[in-house]
Amino acid sequence: MEGKMQPVLWMLCAVWVTVHAISVETPKDVLRAARGKSVTLPCTYQTSSLNREGFIQWDKLLRSHTERVLIWTFSTKTYIYGELYQNRANVSSNVEQSDASVTIDRLTMDDNGTYECSVSLLSDLDGVSKSRVRLLVLVSPSKPDCSIEGETVIGNNIQLTCQSKEGSPAPQYSWKSYDVLHQERQVAPVTGQIFSLKNISTEMSGYYICTSSNDVGMESCNITVAVRPPSMNVALYAGIAGGVAAALLIIGIIVYCCCCRETGKAEDAEVTRPNRVGYQEPPEQLTELSRRQEEGAEDDYRNEDQRGPSRESLDQAGR
């Protein structure tokens, strides 16, 4: 008899636990709300317990930690707020009738994320007491920044870029092209933040419009493209090269003149200074010859003096 009663008791316990087990549910779909507005995160709970001793807790789940939104207690009907949700989050007015929803006011981009609803009752601790819901705060795209990367010279490759600094969900980008006569070009649709133009020509001149859009709104910017021939660059480079060449020529003339002036001064100094290096002593033969000539002249002078008196004597004797 005892053996037959045991399975029945186990079945009754299982039924009793199932009846008293709490169940918490939230929507499976992502909730969307615009920045600056309010949003209600739905959460319901089911329990057979009539005793509402416990609390309701909402948390935001982050990668590194959990951020407290609020705690609401059944017994005191008071709040404990997280730092970022003070005075802008409240539970439903039907919280004791199985509605644990929370409303968040003045939404910001920081409110994007996953939230967890938890209902804890002291008389019903079994079952599923938690559930999660995803919130996406919608923000219209900011006016995109448009720019050109590369030189708009015939034959070059350039890129047109477009980016919005804000937007939730992430903006989608599309492009349209118009010629210089404001006629839209019939080309295949272009999407993405970059519009690439290769081997550009003057026919590609005109303006290009980028539109940034999401579920909330759209913004656009335009870029004017003026393709120019490369000759303009050649003239510019030729002018620069000519200027550099002229400057080098002037510098060369100045250096040459300075060098010539220094060389002239050196030559004048050489002319006025005696050339001591070029002077050489006469050979010994010439010195000896000169000495002999001087001695011979002296001997002739002596002989003439000696012959002089004899002639006078002869003249006087003849008289």
Per-residue pLDDT reduced to its tens digit, 284-308: 655 565 666 666 655 555 555 555 5
Structure tokens that stand for 235 in this block = 């003239």
For the cut 60, the answer to whether the pLDDT of residue 71 exceeds it is: yes
Split at pLDDT 50, 70, 90, the class of 128 is: confident
Q: What is the pTM of this model?
A: 0.57
Structure tokens that stand for 107 in this block = 């939404």
Q: What is the pLDDT of residues 256-287, one digit of tens each?
A: 788 777 666 555 555 555 554 444 555 565 55
Range 133-167 burial, b when 16+ CB lie within 10 A, else e = bbbbbbbbbeebebeeeeebeeeeebebbbbbeeb
Give the model's pLDDT for residue 232: 54
Provide mean pLDDT across the span 139-147.
96
Burial of 56 by CB count in 10 Å (0-12 exposed, 13-18 middle, 19+ buried)? buried
